[in-house]
């Protein structure tokens, strides 16, 4: 890779659905907190900066990711808002900025490199997609050749769009030159009143920028919101090891 690489890890989620007082990203996969798996992988790239977005009660997460920096998302106002909390640390960063959810511990260094390469190839926004056995209610990635035209949430999709099997994993990469300019233009005019990172694709197009997506392994992009999903991650981890 020619460009520098930074990463924003979204780690403000709670472990409520896992019946734990621990923050979700500190739940273990094969004896290691999920977020530590991610950091260990990022370090092999290597990365120049890692910033983890934490909740106001996220002291334990901050300790777990030290010596890397953290920033606090005081209110849960959506994924776009969460990434924007890292602006003070990363604004002006020249290179690729990866955005990773702290509960997706199995993404490989090769996948992160592929994302960074697409940014180097001239795409301002890059999405990691996958093809699950059951696309269900995942957001769909609408492609035109190498270009990502839009991300369509399942509830907003037409029947033709719901037939698309290429889905959004949530993991994204941005040209650092454009990330925070894009985030400035994302609004919260939606039912939840939140700033969605997925809206970055539409905003980037409005700015005349190019977007793309590439395909990853469904097991690699798996995340965990429940104890059952955490157990599944352990199985995938052992299978890949």
Active-site residues, by number, are: 17
Helix (H/G/I), strand (E/B), else coil: 185: helix
What would the two tokens of residue 238 be?
């052992």
Helix (H, G, I), strand (E, B), or coil: what is residue 5? strand
Q: Report how far residue 42's alpha carbon sits from residue 36's, in angstroms, rounded to the nearest whole number.
A: 10
Task: Please report the DSSP string for 200-239 in residue order.
Answer: HHHHHHHTT--EEEEEE-TTTT---SSHHHHHHHHHHHHH
Helix%, strand%, coil% for the chain, nearest 5: 35, 25, 40
CA 229 to chain CA centroid, nearest Å:
18
Characterize 100-112 residue by residue with b for buried, 16 or more Cβ atoms within 10 angstroms of its Cβ, and e for exposed: bbbbbbbbeeebb
Tell me how far apart the alpha carbons of residues 224 and 206 are, in angstroms, rounded to a whole number.
Answer: 34
């Amino acid at each position: 890779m020619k460009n520098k690489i930074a990463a924003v890890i979204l780690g403000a989620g709670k472990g409520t659905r896992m019946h734990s007082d621990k923050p979700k990203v500190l739940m273990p996969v094969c004896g290691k907190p999920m977020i530590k798996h991610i950091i260990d992988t990022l370090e092999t790239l290597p990365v120049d900066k890692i910033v983890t977005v934490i909740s106001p009660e996220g002291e334990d997460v901050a300790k777990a990711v030290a010596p890397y920096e953290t920033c606090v998302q005081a209110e849960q106002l959506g994924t776009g808002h969460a990434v924007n909390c890292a602006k003070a640390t990363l604004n002006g960063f020249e290179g690729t900025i990866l955005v990773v959810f702290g509960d997706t511990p199995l993404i490989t260094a090769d996948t992160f490199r592929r994302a960074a390469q697409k940014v180097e190839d001239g795409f301002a926004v890059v999405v990691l997609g996958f093809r699950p056995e059951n696309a269900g209610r995942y957001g769909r990635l609408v492609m035109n050749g190498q270009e990502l035209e839009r991300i369509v949430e399942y509830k907003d999709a037409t029947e033709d769009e719901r037939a698309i099997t290429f889905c959004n994993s949530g993991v994204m990469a941005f040209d650092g030159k454009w990330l925070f300019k894009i985030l400035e233009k994302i609004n919260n005019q939606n039912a939840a009143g939140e700033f969605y990172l997925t809206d970055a694709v539409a905003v980037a197009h409005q700015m005349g920028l190019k977007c793309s997506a590439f395909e990853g392994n469904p097991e690699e992009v798996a995340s965990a919101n429940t104890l059952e999903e955490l157990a599944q991650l352990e199985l995938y981890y052992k299978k890949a090891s």
